[in-house]
Amino acid sequence: MSTETREYAKKLTAQMTLEEKMSQMLYESPAIDRLGIPAYNWWNEALHGVARAGVATVFPQAIALAATFDEDLLQKIGDVVSTEGRAKFNEFSRKGDRGIYKGLTFWAPNVNIFRDPRWGRGHETYGEDPYLTGKLGCAYIRGLQGPDRDHPKAAACAKHFAVHSGPEALRHEFDAKVSRHDLYDTYLYAFKRCVKDAGVEAVMGAYNRVNGEPACGSRTLLKNILRDEFGFEGHVVSDCWAINDFHLHHHVTGIAEESAAMAVNNGCDLNCGNAFLHLPKAYEMGLVSEEAITEAVERLMEIRIRLGMMEDYPSPYADISYEKVECPEHVKLSVEASRRSLTLLKNEEDFLPLEKEKICTIAVIGPNANSRDALVGNYVGTSSQYITPLEGIQQYVGEEIRVLYAQGCGLYKDKVEGLGERKDRMQEAVIAVEHADVAVMCLGLDATIEGEQGDAGNEYASGDKLGLNLPGLQEELLETVAAMGKPVVVLLMAGSAIDLSWAEHNPNVKAIVDCWYPGARGGKAIAEMLFGEFSPSGKLPVTFYQGTENLPEFTDYNMADRTYRYTDKNVLYPFGYGLHYGRVRYEEECVSGERTDTSGEVKVSASVINEGKYALWETVQVYVKRKESLDYEPGFQLKGVSCVHLAPGEKQRIEVTLSPRDFAYITEEGDCVVRPGEYLIAIGGQQPDEESERLTGQRVTCLKVEKTGSSISVEY
C-alpha cells in the first residue's frame, strides 16, 4: 500500500468523532456524508463465484477446483469473479443499493486444512495439504485482487484464522489444542503464504479458541503471529457473531463490553455481528482506548480508499460493465473448470469412455442425477442455467440413445414422497436398469447435509458427517443395481471423501468418477467426459479412507495419523491419485546434483509422455522426504506441481525448482530448519506410495539428494 493512501486514511479518520469511528467498525458501516464517505456493507462472499447477490457465473466448488492442482486456472477464475463482482458493485452503487453481498470485500478464500473427512465445511477448502492450499489460495487471491495493490479490483480475505476445521456443532465453544509443531507445520502455512506471497487484504478470525484464546481476540494469533511474524498490514474481520462467543460460550470474558474490547485490543478491526455496538460503553468503562479504535479505522478506511470508494481516488475498474456478468466467456471458463476437476478413480478394463454406437438405452439413477443442489455446493450465486448429469446426458445423446431416469432413493431419507412407503423409489430404479444397457449412478451428498452449522439441514451432526458411508438408502440402491449384472458407472457428487470400498471391489461397478460439486453447468462436462470428448485429469486433494476406524477423534487437532503426510492406514484412494483415459509415462528423471549444501536449490526434472489417444492435462507432482525423519515429522510432502497439457503421443520435459524451504522441517518448538542428511525426491503423476502404485500400475521414481553442511534456519 502506498504512503498516499495511508496518509489519506489517517487524514480522513482524524476528522471523525469517536462515535463515527466506532460506527465504521461494524460490517454495516453507515455513511458519513460530511466527509464524503458512503455507506458500505463489508459482507460479501465469492468462494467459487460471486455469491448471494443474484446472477453470477457459478464455478465448481473450491474442493473441485483443488482437484485441478492448477494455479493458473485458479487465478483466471479469481479474475473472472472479481470482474463480475466489480460489474455488480458498479451497477448496484449507481442504483443506491449498498446492501449485504453487494460490496467489494470478498470473504474468500477458505484456506483451512481439511484435516478430517468428517468436517462438513471441508468442501470450501483446497484440501488437506498445506503446500497445495497455499499455492491455490494465493492464485485465487491474485485473481481477485488484481496486479495493482494501490488499485485492487476487489479485496480478498483468507479465513478462518486459525486451527479451524470442525466439529461444527462445537465451534462456538471449542478449544483447539495444538502443538507448536502442528501449528506451524500444518495450520498456519497457507495463511503465511497468502500474506507474504499474495498480499491478501484481509484475514478473518475463527469461532474456536486456540490453546485457550478465542481466535478473534487472540493476542498470540492476531498480534504476535499475524502482524509481527507474518508482517500483515491489512485488516482483520471477525467471523460472524464470533465475538459474542467470548462471553456467551467460551467464558473468557463476562460481558459484551469486555468481549468487544478484547477483540479490538488484540487486533480485530471489523466486526461481523453486533458486539462492537458495545464499544462506546467499553470506552466509557476504560476497557479500550481511542488510539486502538483509531488504528483499526485507519486500516479500514485505507482499503476502502484503494478500492475507489472515495470520489477523489477513483478506481480504474469503475467502468466495468454489467454485460460482463455471466457472459459467454466466463461461462466457457466455468465449464472448462468442471472438465478439469473430474477425477477418475476406477476404470476397469477401460470401460470408459462409453461408445454411443454400442448403447441403445442408458439408465441414469440416483438422488443426485437431476439435483441442482449437487451441482453447486455452498456460498453460491444464482446461475441463469443449470445442467444436471441427467440433463447433460440427455442433451449430449439427443435422440440417438434412449435415456431412462429413476431417482432410486432420497439423498438421506428413507423415502422420497412424504406419504410414501420406505424405499418408494427403489423398484423404479430396478425397472429402469432392467431396460438399459448401462447404468450411470449419481450418488453422494450436497450442501444441504454437508456444510456449515446453521446452513446444512443435517440434524444429526450440524453439517458434519458421522461417518464416511453413503447416507440413507444410497448404499443399498448401489448394491441392488450392481447385483442386476449390468455394467455400472458411479458418479460421486460430494465435497469430501466417501468410503467407496464396496464399489471399488465390485466387478459390476466398472468405473467411478468423483465429480465433486462441478458448478452450475457441470452436467455438460460430465456427459462429455462419459462419452470421450476429453480425458478426465483431476487428482485427489484429499485422502479417501476405508472407514474411520483408524482416524483419531474428530476433536483431536494433533496431526498424527491424519492426511497423507502422517498416515498410510486404511487408505482407499491416496491424495494426488487420479486416472486418465490412457497412460502417461515418465522417464529420464534426474536432479541437478546429488550433493548440495543445506542452503542450496535443487532442480528436479523428468520427461512426460502421453501414450494414450486422448489429449489430456497431467499434474506433475514432486514430493520430498528426509530419509531419516524424526517420529513427529511428516513423511513425503508435496513440494512442487506443474500442470502440463499433452497431445496424444506428445513428450515434454518438465523441470521443478526446489528451494531450501522445500527441504525444511518444523521442529517441536515451531522453528523452520533444514538439516543435513539424505533426502528422497519423487517426481511423477502420483505419490510414491504402494497404494498409488497398485491402483495405477505405475511406480514413481525416487531420486536421492544429500544435503551437506550444518543445520540452518530458513524463513517459515
Number of domains in the chain: 3
pLDDT value of position 546: 95
Give yes or no: residues 505 and 618 share one domain.
no
- Considering 288, 304, 320, which residue would you say is the last residue of a domain? 304
Give yes or no: residues 506 and 623 share one domain.
no
pLDDT for 603-616, tens place per residue?
A: 999 999 999 999 99
Does residue 179 lie within any of the structural domains? Answer: yes
- pTM of model > 0.75: yes
Does residue 556 lie within any of the structural domains? Answer: no
pLDDT value of position 455: 81
pLDDT value of position 515: 98
Low-confidence ranges of the chain (pLDDT < 70): 1, 457-460
Does residue 185 lie within any of the structural domains? Answer: yes
Give yes or no: residues 350 and 497 share one domain.
yes
Question: In this structure, what CATH number is given to the domain that contains residue 8?
Answer: 3.20.20.300
CB within 8 A of 603, min separation 6: which ones?
A: 591, 592, 655, 656, 657, 658
Does residue 401 lie within any of the structural domains? Answer: yes
pLDDT for 93-116, tens place per residue?
A: 999 999 999 999 999 999 999 999
Give yes or no: residues 66 and 166 share one domain.
yes
Does residue 81 lie within any of the structural domains? Answer: yes
Does residue 321 lie within any of the structural domains? Answer: no
Give yes or no: residues 266 and 361 share one domain.
no
Q: How much is the mean pLDDT over the chain?
A: 97
Give yes or no: residues 243 and 348 share one domain.
no
Residues 101, 52: Cα–Cα separation, whole Å: 6
pLDDT for 212-267, tens place per residue?
A: 999 999 999 999 999 999 999 999 999 999 999 999 999 999 999 999 999 999 99
Does residue 404 lie within any of the structural domains? Answer: yes
- Considering 509, 540, 571, which residue would you say is the last residue of a domain? 540
User: Alpha carbon of 396 to those of 299, 601, 640: distances in Å?
Assistant: 52, 50, 37
Does residue 660 lie within any of the structural domains? Answer: yes
As given in the structure block, the three cell numbers for residue 587 are 522417464
CA neighbor of 124 nearest in space, from 154, 168, 88, 90: 168
Residues 483, 22: Cα–Cα separation, whole Å: 66
Give yes or no: residues 274 and 337 share one domain.
no
Give yes or no: residues 244 and 98 share one domain.
yes
For residue 589, the SS3 value is: strand
Give yes or no: residues 129 and 270 share one domain.
yes
- Considering 540, 575, 594, which residue would you say is the last residue of a domain? 540
Question: In this structure, what CATH number is given to the domain that contains residue 364?
Answer: 3.40.50.1700
- Residue 544, H or E segment: strand 544-545
DSSP conformation class of 580: B
Residues recognised as catalytic: 239
Give yes or no: residues 275 and 352 share one domain.
no
- Domain containing 446: what range? 328-540
- Residue 83, H or E segment: helix 71-94
pLDDT for 319-332, tens place per residue?
A: 999 999 999 999 99
Give yes or no: residues 217 and 335 share one domain.
no
The alpha carbon of 175 is separated from its chain's Cα centroid by a whole number of angstroms, namely 23
Give yes or no: residues 133 and 252 share one domain.
yes
